[in-house]
Structures are given as C-alpha cells and as structure tokens.
A and B are shown apart, each in its own frame.
Chain A
Amino acid sequence: MLSRVVLSAAATAAASLKNAAVLGPGVLQATRIFHTGQPSLAPVPPLPEYGGKVRFGLIPEEFFQFLYPKTGVTGPYMLGTGLILYFLSKEIYVITAETITTISTIGLLIYGIKKYGASVGKFADKLNEEKIAKLEEVKQASIKNIQDAIDFEKAQQALVEKRHYLFDVQRNNIAMALEVTYRERLHRVYKEVKNRLDYHISVQNMMRRKEQEHMINWVEKNVMKSISTQQEKETIAKCIEELKLLAKKAQAQPVM
C-alpha cells in the first residue's frame, strides 16, 4: 500500500525527468538524474604533440629517471644485461628455433621502421594538413564572400546619400516640361481666340465692303438712271466748250 504511494509520488516527481520509463524496477533509483551533464567527449582535450620519450623504443625515460638516484646512469643498463644473462644461463629463456625467427622478424621490423618511419609520419601529417587546408579554404572563401557583400552594401549606402541630386534634377526637368506645356497651350489658346476674332472682323469688313459696293453701285445706277438724255446732251456740249477753251489756252501757253 505504501509502496504504491511511493510509486505514484515518484511517478509525478519523475515526470520531469528524462527517463521515467525505468521507474518500475528501480524505484530506489528514481531520483537519479540521467544525461543532464555535459557530453563526456566535449570539449576534447588537446592532443600532445610528441609521444613520451623512450629508449630502445621500449623502455620509457621515466624508468631511467626512477633508478638514477640509487644507481646512477649505468644502473638500468646493468639491470637489463643482468636479467638477460640470468634468463639465458638459467635456461629460463630457452634458445630454440623460435629465437632465430625472432631475430629475423624483429630485425626486419626495426630496419623497416628506422628506414621508413619518418616518412610515414610525415605522410600522416600531410594528410591532416590537407584536410585542414581544405576546410580553411572554405572558411576563407566564405569570409571573402561576406566581406564583398559588406563592401557592396556600404557602396550602396553611400550612393543612397547622393540620391537627392538625381531627384532634384528630375524635379527640375519635370517643372520645365510643365512650364513649356503650359506656355504652349497658352499660346494656342491665344491663337485660337485671335483666329475667331479675326474671323469676325473679316466678316464685318467684308460686309461693309459689300455694302459700300452695293451702295456705290446703287448710287451709280440711280445717277445713271437719273441722268436723262437731254441733260446728257447738255453736259456733253458743255464739256466740249470747255475742252475747246482749254485747247486754246494750251495752245497759247507753250508759245510763252
């Protein structure tokens, strides 16, 4: 009964935990928190650049340093020689066919490592460097792209400052065009109006002329009609008399 209370309490408490499914078997461990810390691999500790120093390719330097206070420099060598001779003399290590194969195999290995070891190491370094160089190149290209984008943006911003010149010029242009159109239309209006007025004037002139001509014709016609035949004869006779007088005068003049 109590365990059920504990279970329900643990269930509500563990609802916020990530691993609530393990509650059944492990009620005691219900309060343990899983996977809330940093992942254990990151940040990765830096690699040492060189391996530990060894002598004979096998025995680390620390061993020699360890024996130095008690036995000096030759201590470990004496130990090694003594051990080998002890094993050989007591036949703890038996010289068999295996020994000869050991000599040949290990000899070959040492020869191979001494000859090609450095170049293999350099090859490995080159592989890593190439990898880094490729990524570096990508990074540099990305930086360059972004830098170009920034410069372009700055240039655009500088241009925006000078935009108002463009707008002023355009505004002036438009104002001039408007002015020109206005004057043109004004002139046209003036011309049209003048045209119409001229029309009226010419109509009036024409009318007056016509009337004048008509009156003159009418007057002439009436005068002609009024001049009777007899008057005409009298007038013509008077004219002839005057002409004779004039002719006489004219004859008399040049003689003077």
Chain B
Amino acid sequence: MNENLFASFITPTMMGLPIVILIIALPAMLYPSPNRLVDNRLISIQQWLVQLILKQMLLIHNVKGRTWSLMLISLILFIGSTNLLGLIPYSFTPTTQLSMNLGMAIPLWAGTVITGFRYKTKSSLAHFLPQGTPTLLIPMLVVIETISLFIQPMALAVRLTANITAGHLLMRLIGGATLALTAISPATASITFIVLLLLTILEFAVALIQAYVFTLLVSLYLHDNT
C-alpha cells in the first residue's frame, strides 16, 4: 500500500531523453502498408477492418464531411491500438496522459466548430438555441448552450483519460489484492483472480470502445457543422 500506484503513469524518460515519443510512434509501425494485390494475412485483415469502419462511420456525412475521413480513421486506429498496446503488462499508455488527449480533442473540436462558423454561420449560431423554447428562458438557455459547447473538448479528453486510467489502476489494485490474499487464503485469492480475468476482458472492450466513442463524437460534431 505504500507503493505509488501511479508509478506506471509517469511519462517514461531514459536518462533525460523522452522515449515517450517512441512509444507514441510505435502503433504506426504495426500497420504495414499494402504493397501488392494479394498481401499477407495481417495487411488483408487490416484493409478489411479499415473498409468496414470507414463505411460505417462516413455514411452520415456529406461530401464536405467526408474530407475528414482520413483524419477520423487515423484517430480511431491510433486510439484503439494505443489502448490495446497499453494492456500489455509493464507498458505505458500515452492516452492516460490528459495532455495528449487534450492535444487530440481540442484541435479536432475547434476544427469542426470553426468549419461550422465559416460555412454555415447562421445554422451554427442557431445551435445555441434549441427549438421551441419559451421566450423567457432564451437568455439563460443561450448561456447554457454556450457552456455545453465549450465543455465538449474537455469532455472528450477527460472521458478518454479517466476511462483508461481508471481501468489500468483497477487492474493494478485487484492484482495487488490477489497477491496479498494468496498469503492469507488462496481460495479468496482465486476468486479475486477471476474478478481480475473479467476485468481484463472488460479492459479489452473498453480500449476499443473508447476509441470508437471518441471518433464517433468528433464525427458527430463534424456532422452538425458541415
């Protein structure tokens, strides 16, 4: 219990050099690019997956929104692979750092909002006031809608950070509990171990889901604004 539970979330540096940059660049190396008509299994599966995700995600967008397709696909692949790689024991997950998530969320959100204001000014401003509100409530509602708009990037970043960090932390805690319980009563330890197994399954799911949610929300903001 004296041990620092957050030790694994420190940005890794080796002798003062930030190797976190290498860690962030690692997932890109796991996606080989197709070179020929019939590739190996890895590339074929990745191509199929990317096609599936792309078709699903870009159905709702018009031509202007589809210019963002590369961005959105890179986003979901990056977040998904970074989260999954973070489940490897003793590894570092970049998405646990709020700084990086803010760095992803704010520019994307700001991009959608600025696109909306630039090309559909009236309709973007109209989003501040939902339809059918009584006249007395209008000023208050405008303020509330503005706040909710500016909360969006914060929510995106904090959601991703909190979910992944909480998951990792929980796994570490329950692992520690199992370790401590093996000395006291192995039966309880095995129950705790089963809980840990279930949690690990959840973590795998959460890793993918969080990526999906992030990208989906960005795409939704985009849809509103194009």
Contact = CB atoms under 8 A, between A and B. Distances in A.
Interface stretch (A100-108, A155-163, A165-173): A100-108
A16 interface: no
Pick from A44, A104, A107, A120 the residue with the most CB of B within 10 Å: A104
B41 interface: yes
B89 A121 contact: no
Nearest to A128: B38
Given A105-B88, A105-B89, A131-B38, A100 B175 contact: yes
A132 B39 CA distance: 11
A120 B45 contact: yes
A232 B95 CA distance: 171
A83 B52 CA distance: 45
Contacts of B42: 124
Given A104-B193, A105-B88, A95 B179 contact: yes
A128 B48 CA distance: 10
A128 B43 CA distance: 10
Interface string B149-187: 000000000000000000000011111111100000000
Contact of A106 (B8, B37, B89): B89
Contacts of B8: 98
A99 interface: yes
A123 interface: yes
Contact of B45 (A41, A98, A124): A124
Pick from B48, B175, B196 the residue with the most CB of A within 10 Å: B175
Contact of A101 (B35, B38, B39, B175): B175
Pick from A41, A99, A105 the residue with the most CB of B within 10 Å: A105
B48 A127 contact: yes
A50 to B, nearest CB: 11
Contact of B196 (A101, A132, A135): A101
Interface in A79-121: 95-102, 104-108, 120-121
Contacts of B172: 97-98, 101
B44 A127 contact: yes
DSSP majority for the B interface? helix
B197 A125 contact: no
Interface residues of A, number: 26
A99 B179 contact: yes
Contacts of A123: 45
Contacts of A108: 197, 200-201, 204
B62 to A, nearest CB: 30
Given A99-B179, A100-B175, A121 B193 contact: no
A47 interface: yes
Given A97-B173, A97-B175, A124 B90 contact: no
B40 A47 contact: yes
B113 interface: no
Contact of A125 (B36, B41, B179, B200): B41
Given A44-B36, A104-B196, A108-B200, A98 B89 contact: yes
Nearest to B170: A101
Contacts of A124: 41-42, 44-45, 48
B50 interface: no
B87 interface: yes
A96 B89 contact: no
B3 to A, nearest CB: 8
Contact of A104 (B88, B173, B197): B197
B90 A100 contact: no
A99 B175 contact: yes
A100 B200 contact: no
Given A96-B3, A124-B48, 19 more contacts: A97-B173, A97-B177, A97-B179, A98-B90, A98-B175, A100-B176, A100-B193, A105-B200, A106-B89, A108-B200, A108-B201, A108-B204, A121-B41, A124-B45, A127-B45, A128-B44, A131-B37, A132-B38, A135-B37
The 4 A-B residue pairs whose C-beta atoms are closest, nearest first, are: A97-B176, A100-B175, A124-B41, A97-B175
24 contacts: A44-B35, A47-B36, A47-B40, A95-B179, A96-B3, A96-B175, A97-B173, A97-B179, A98-B175, A99-B175, A100-B193, A100-B196, A101-B89, A101-B172, A102-B89, A102-B90, A104-B197, A107-B197, A108-B197, A123-B45, A124-B44, A127-B45, A128-B38, A135-B37
Interface of B: 3, 8, 35-42, 44-45, 48, 87-90, 171-179, 193, 196-197, 200-201, 204
